[in-house]
Amino acid sequence: MRNKKLAPCAARRLAAGLTLALLPWLAAAATRAAPPDLIVRNGSIYTVRGETAWVEAFAVRDGRYVATGTNAEIARLAGPKTRVLDLRGAMAMPGINDVHAHPLDGGYEDLYACNFAPSSTFEQVLARVADCAARAEPGDWVVGGAWSSTMLAQVSTPAALAALDKAGAGHPVLLRDETFHNRWANSEALKRGGITRDSADPAGGVIAKDPASGQPTGLLKEFPAFLALERQIPPRTQARQLAAARAAGATMNACGITGVQDAFSSEAALAIWSQVDRDGGLPFHMVASLSAMPSAFPAERTGLALVEAREQYRGANLRPDFVKLFLDGVPPARTAEFLQPYLPDAEHGAHYHGHSNFTRDQLVDLLVQLDRRGVPAKMHATGDASLRLALDAVDEVRKRNGMPGQRHQVAHASFIADADLARFRALNVTAEISPMIWYPTGLGMATAMAIGKERAERIFPVASLLRSGALVAGGSDWPAGQPTANPWTGIEGLVTRRDPFGAIPGALWPEQAVGLASALRIYTINSAEAMGMGRETGSIETGKSADFIVLDRNLFRIPAGQIHETTVKQTFFRGRQVHPRAE
């Protein structure tokens, strides 16, 4: 039979596949040629996957695993300059991969914002704003968060606006809720944003107004509603942004995170991460989700324009590989789209389902273009109707572009109709979850106020998704929902379906609890695969990047209710210790 010439793209794929297939052999051959830089021994080392789930030791050279096995097997590889880390029986495992976080915002808020916990009462929020205003310089804005979504109705009154005006002491004030989707502004901030009683709701946003006077109350739902105000806030300086990026790296490393997907990357944020990476300071793998929304700064590129420019930002540890799309908002603000209606209220009546930001044709057209460019989408969809829209659109993309296509993500995948569970695997779509913000929390209570307790409790059917064969990946959504990137609360929540801190009693749909091994896979190899990095990281296997953590306890030998107390003693990224950092 005559040989056929492979198309260039097929040849590249074949070459890449052969290279990956040969990695273990190449690593083994290299091991015989040179001793490792580091040997980690005498531990309970959970590999997540590979020939065996547990090993005693492994060896690292040039930032990659070159061997795993028993203490005796690995000891034979040591050379005169090999560093040996004796775990003394401690548990080690792959680093955490956080598939949904906003690290630049998290780092910036920790350093510079007027922060308060979502559990803060109305009075505590006002007291915190007054304190921040008293320390602000003339002309400064008071910007911070996060107030609880349970306060949506409480902050949307003339009395609340007057109280926020008083606390702000003449400064413009703009406070976010814990979802990042809504803002509470005082009169000075509304004035600077040009929002008056005559302002119409922008497409995709809501400017709340007092029914009696028609005046804005200060509550602004979704990004288009507060974009004008965001544009009036003095831009974050580059020095502060760089400091925030480095602080975020230290924070995430301390939590055991060695890989993260930035869930919303403006071009300005991408430039900051690129600079940090090129300066040698990015201490984790980062996958960026490029913004497709209008920017607060008109000179910034977004959407397909940013996709076309993304290669200038790619670096050793930075992959600008995804695009972020917001299909809807959030249930507490009634900006998510549901198959069944919200509970009746005065604003929306008795048959309101919410709405998506895209028509089916619009979403299909955009996804087809992205998919053909090799760019997967991270699609925010918190209502089951918007989630179905996402799957319907991907279904059409598969028909046009073929399978398997790009592995798109449904971000949050909160509420899922039973009929849609099996479609994730069939369509090669990731179900991305953020358990830190949904195990029994104030956000869950706010959701129940909008759709009812029974429906609100049927959130994140993780066990059902796993049984269907779906790829389920885990993220924190830090700093949304909670003020920390700590993954251990989310991992415990997956196993117990309870609030790890006991503040909110009861279990949330306990039938959807999963075992510890499944929870750890969700936060390691599954998230790596969802980010397109499954062959690079996520497990302790020969040839992969040496990204691992050492814990203060063996997670498999403690009650599940103690998982959230876990402390990460050491974090290694590419074989280099990044936590605790040397002084």
Q: What is the dihedral of CA 462, 465, 470, 472, to 10 degrees?
A: -10
Q: What is the rounded CA–CA span in Å between residue 524 and residue 511?
A: 23
Which residues are CB-contacts of 37 (< 8 A; sequence separation ≥ 6)?
Answer: 60, 61, 62, 81, 82, 83, 575
For residue 318, give the DSSP letter: E
Question: CATH 3.10.310.70 region(s) of the chain?
Answer: 105-230
Half-sphere exposure of 397 (CA within 13 A, CB side): 33
Structure tokens at 206: 């809501």
Structure tokens at 562: 């103690």
By the 10 Å C-beta count (0-12 exposed, 13-18 middle, 19+ buried), 139 is classed as exposed
User: Could you give the residue range(s) of every CATH 2.30.40.10 domain in the chain?
Assistant: 23-89+540-583
CA distance to 224, 282, 335, 385, 498, per residue, from 202 (Å): 6, 38, 13, 22, 39
Domain 238-539 has CATH 3.20.20.140: yes
Q: Which CATH number describes the domain made up of 23-89+540-583?
A: 2.30.40.10
Q: Where in the chain is the domain with CATH 3.20.20.140?
A: 238-539
pLDDT at 554: 98
Cα 83 from Cα 140, distance rounded (Å): 51
**For the chain, how big is the Rg over CA atoms in Å?**
24
> Is the pTM above the cut of 0.75?
yes
Please give the Cα distance from 134 to 339 (Å, whole number).
Answer: 47
174 secondary structure, DSSP code:
E
Classified by CATH at the fold level, domain 105-230 comes out as Diaminopimelate Epimerase; Chain A, domain 1 (3.10.310)
Task: Report pLDDT for 22.
Answer: 56
Quick one: which of 434, 327, 440 has its CA closest to 389? Answer: 327
CA dihedral 398, 13, 260, 249 (to 10 degrees): -150
Scanning the structure block, which residue is given the tokens 């739902």?
221
Query: 522 by DSSP, 3-state: which?
Result: helix
What does the pLDDT read at residue 96?
98
pLDDT digit string (tens) for the chain, length 583 residues: 333 333 333 333 334 444 455 555 554 554 456 999 999 999 999 999 866 799 999 999 999 999 999 999 999 999 999 999 999 999 999 999 999 999 999 999 999 999 998 889 999 999 999 999 999 999 899 999 888 888 999 999 999 999 999 999 999 999 998 888 899 999 999 999 999 999 999 988 999 999 999 999 999 998 899 999 988 998 889 999 999 999 999 999 999 999 999 999 999 999 999 999 999 879 999 999 999 988 777 788 999 999 999 999 999 999 999 999 999 999 999 999 999 999 999 888 999 999 999 999 999 999 999 999 999 999 999 999 999 999 999 999 999 999 999 999 999 999 999 999 999 999 999 999 998 777 777 788 889 999 999 999 999 999 999 999 999 999 999 998 777 899 999 999 999 999 998 888 889 999 999 999 999 999 999 999 999 999 999 999 999 999 999 999 999 999 999 999 999 999 999 999 999 976 5
Q: How far is CA 268 from the centre of its chain?
A: 19
Place of tokens 């602080």: 247
Q: Which long-range contacts (CB under 8 A, 24 or more apart) does 458-462 make?
A: 458/415, 458/509, 459/414, 459/415, 459/508, 459/509, 460/413, 460/414, 460/433, 460/435, 460/509, 460/512, 461/416, 461/421, 461/509, 461/512, 462/433, 462/435, 462/494, 462/512, 462/513, 462/514, 462/522
The tokens describing 574, both together, are: 């590419």
CA-CA distance, 403 to 346, in Å (whole number)? 46
Could you tell me which residues come within 8 angstroms of residue 121 by beta carbon, excluding any fewer than 6 positions away?
none
